[in-house]
Structure 1
Amino acid sequence: MVEHARNSRLSRRSVLVTPAAVAGGAVLSGSASAPEKAGVVRQITLYAEPLPGDLYGYGLAPGEATIPGPLLEIYEGDTLEIELVNNTDKRLSIHAHGVDYDVNSDGSPLNDSFNEPGETRTYTWRSRKQVDIGGNRFLPGTAGYWHYHDHALGNDHGTIGIQKGLYGGLIVRRRGDLIPDRQFTVVFNEMLINNKKAPNTPMFEARQGERVEFVCIGHGNLPHTFHLHAHRWADTRTGMLTGANDPSPVIDNKNLDPGSSFGFQVLAGEGVGPGAWMYHCHVQMHSDQGMVGLFLVRNPDGSMPPGAQAAIDRFRQHHHVAAPQADHSNHHG
């Protein structure tokens, strides 16, 4: 599914925005055109629901669950209170990476922190700024590209819940960070992207020159890499260099292992122009087997650039090879 012109710019206020859900989840934007005071408490309700195909998802309203779930966004120093409504017949939870919480909001059965079927429970996540402790040393804050996922469906680690789609992205920004025009969540989960395989993987869309933010998340048991054609970013917290002499490497491919996450911003088509550009896992057997999607950069006026539709058609008609069968024979002689 393609995100169309109606999603041309994300809200810059603290409101809920609902882009085309299959293309990366809805967005809870904590960004603002004018800085807000620190320590804001934001409250939302998420609904965990069954989806077709024996899958599950999180959504911002009943009947709106998606894979991945909504992209949640706050400022460093804010608190996010999530009322999770379990509209399934399974035990499940929500567990965050990168932020602070007490044991009651851990989301793990170890701490008796989960939702029984039909139960509603509140999880509280806190963020904090970095602290200067002197001597040019700092305690890190929580700003970064993080994620959340189930930790209770199927077993005490939520393995089945993650496998079936209970995950999403979390951004903690610093005030002053650049705000994107469009945001996309990309989850590599086993041999799938957002629980889909090419040619049914998400096609993300932007206009040339728009600021686009990718949130990349790894799940499952397999190591992956994330590669975006024709675009590159700095390997920093935001994907941007902080000065003319910033020595951070500039990359277009980065490891995306299970449980890891990163994000970055690019200007769509910068230096290369509009077109249908691939994103994919660069483990060759993984891309061969369908871990590939498209980033469609339209012309600045929203029209389709020459050759883009033909490229999309070729992608949809391309045959991806089946996964080889594992050899379970005894090789010890």
Structure 2
Amino acid sequence: MDDNVVNAARRPLSRRSLMAAGALGVAVPAVVAGASLTDRPANAAAGVTRKVTIYAEALPGGLFGYGLAPGQASVPGPILEMWEGDTLEITLVNRTNQRLSIHPHGVDYSVDSDGSPLNASFNNPGETRTYVWRSREMVATEGRRFLPGSAGYWHYHDHAMGTDHGTGGVAKGLYGALIVRRRGDPLPEKQFVVVFNDMMINNRMAPDTPMFEADLGQRVEWIAIGHGGTFHTFHLHAHRWADNRTGMLEGPADPSLVIDNKDLNPGSSFGFQVLAGEGVGPGAWMYHCHVQFHSDGGMAGIFLVRNADGSMPPGAEEAIHRFQGHVHKGDMG
């Protein structure tokens, strides 16, 4: 039986509830693949193999998505998580009439799990295929050198629809977040996935972009992914993070820059954690591409930080209504 954790459909739940009860609270459809990451101690031995079945399906509006069960496909697809050192076996069921695949970034795999037509690694229409992704811990070599491990904020996507590079599949929504955690990493209460795909966010434009919600003080994890053929920058209002693997400083001497804006270009990804509203309070805070004509054209959304008790802060409702009146102005240059 697949050892997976399934999303409760679009219900906002805390990360603690997710880990305790097996449901994920995310404002965009997402899931954690594999057993709960808190089901064994952070210093447990590596080498656990987890299995998950993913279904690729057609969606309304000409889109396609990945999901953990028939009828659950979404854009983005489910969040997949691993501890560094674990293996993930993905059985991909192609329920479409298109050739497609699933290709990861940041982990290890053999050529037959590459997900590319170059290596004849794809699913024909109606075909089921298993892909194996492996992760590894950092290894010391000679002197003070280390071979990097797999821990990081990565992503996965189609590599076979439309062209041998999956250009059609990526354009139509076949993508999702992949997180490899190092043992001891803090776990968030909520997770948000933001994909800048050409001039869209999660294949939507303002005012229909996702509105992410958290209560004041909740630990929130953002995973940002770039796709398409356009260069972007990701900016989050009123919050900042360290420009390193986790987004958090490891001490007073950590030299990582603290930023609130970062390039998010095709094929790149990063992630970070923040405490919602820390130092600034609750409110309707914007996230957007900081290329000006991109944000004017609809690449913007809202991060709603509610009061600690979950109630709506003053002025937030009005700000949301103003955002819903967003006018696409296109290129102002």
Q: What interval of TM-score do these two structures reach, taking the shorter chain for normalisation?
A: over 0.9
Corresponding residue pairs, total:
322
Partner residue in 1 for 2:147: 139
User: C-alpha distance in 2, partners of 1:235/1:284?
Assistant: 22
Q: Which of 9, 12, 30 is the matching residue for 2:15?
A: 9
Q: Any unmatched runs of 5+ in structure 2? A: 1-8
Q: 1:26 to 1:260 in 2, by over 3 A?
A: same
Partner residue in 2 for 1:25: 30
User: In 2, are the aligned partners of 1:59 and 1:70 still within 8 Å (CA)?
Assistant: yes
Partner residue in 1 for 2:221: 213
User: C-alpha distance in 1, partners of 2:152/2:209?
Assistant: 26
> Which stretch has the larger CA shift, 49-58 or 126-135?
126-135
User: C-alpha distance in 1, partners of 2:194/2:70?
Assistant: 23
Q: Which of 170, 183, 187 is the matching residue for 1:175?
A: 183
Q: Which amino acid aligns with 1:311?
A: A
User: C-alpha distance in 2, partners of 1:91/1:146?
Assistant: 24
SS at match of 2:133: strand
TM-score where L is the length of structure 2: 0.93
> Which stretch has the larger CA shift, 3-12 or 185-194?
3-12
User: C-alpha distance in 2, partners of 1:133/1:192?
Assistant: 43
Does residue 297 of structure 2 align to residue 289 of structure 1? yes
Q: Which amino acid aligns with 1:288?
A: D
SS at match of 1:17: coil
Q: How does 1:70-149 map to 2 (within 5 A)?
A: 70-149=78-157
User: C-alpha distance in 1, partners of 2:125/2:22?
Assistant: 26
1:12 CA drift (Å): 6.1
1:317 CA drift (Å): 1.1
Percent of aligned positions with the same letter in both sequences? 66
Q: Which amino acid aligns with 1:47?
A: Y
Partner residue in 2 for 1:256: 264
Partner residue in 1 for 2:60: 52
Q: Which amino acid aligns with 1:300?
A: A
User: In 2, are the aligned partners of 1:14 and 1:28 still within 8 Å (CA)?
Assistant: no
> Which stretch has the larger CA shift, 31-40 or 90-99?
31-40
1:322 CA drift (Å): 3.5
User: In 1, are the aligned partners of 2:15 and 2:25 still within 8 Å (CA)?
Assistant: no
1:321 CA drift (Å): 1.1
Q: How does 1:167-206 map to 2 (within 5 A)?
A: 167-206=175-214
Cα root mean square deviation, aligned? 1.8
Q: Which amino acid aligns with 1:52?
A: P
Partner residue in 1 for 2:4: none
User: C-alpha distance in 2, partners of 1:4/1:118?
Assistant: 28
TM-score where L is the length of structure 1: 0.93
Partner residue in 2 for 1:275: 283
User: In 1, are the aligned partners of 2:153 and 2:271 still within 8 Å (CA)?
Assistant: yes
Q: Which amino acid aligns with 1:7?
A: L
User: C-alpha distance in 1, partners of 2:10/2:117?
Assistant: 41
Partner residue in 2 for 1:242: 250
Partner residue in 2 for 1:298: 306
User: In 1, are the aligned partners of 2:25 and 2:190 still within 8 Å (CA)?
Assistant: no
> Which stretch has the larger CA shift, 31-40 or 112-121?
31-40
1:58 CA drift (Å): 0.1
SS at match of 2:141: strand
SS at match of 1:303: coil
Deviations 1:270-325 (A, max 9, x none): 00000000000000010000000000000000000000000000000121213589
User: In 2, are the aligned partners of 1:24 and 1:184 still within 8 Å (CA)?
Assistant: no
1:98 CA drift (Å): 0.3
Q: Which amino acid aligns with 2:32?
A: V
Q: Which of 304, 309, 312 is the matching residue for 2:317?
A: 309
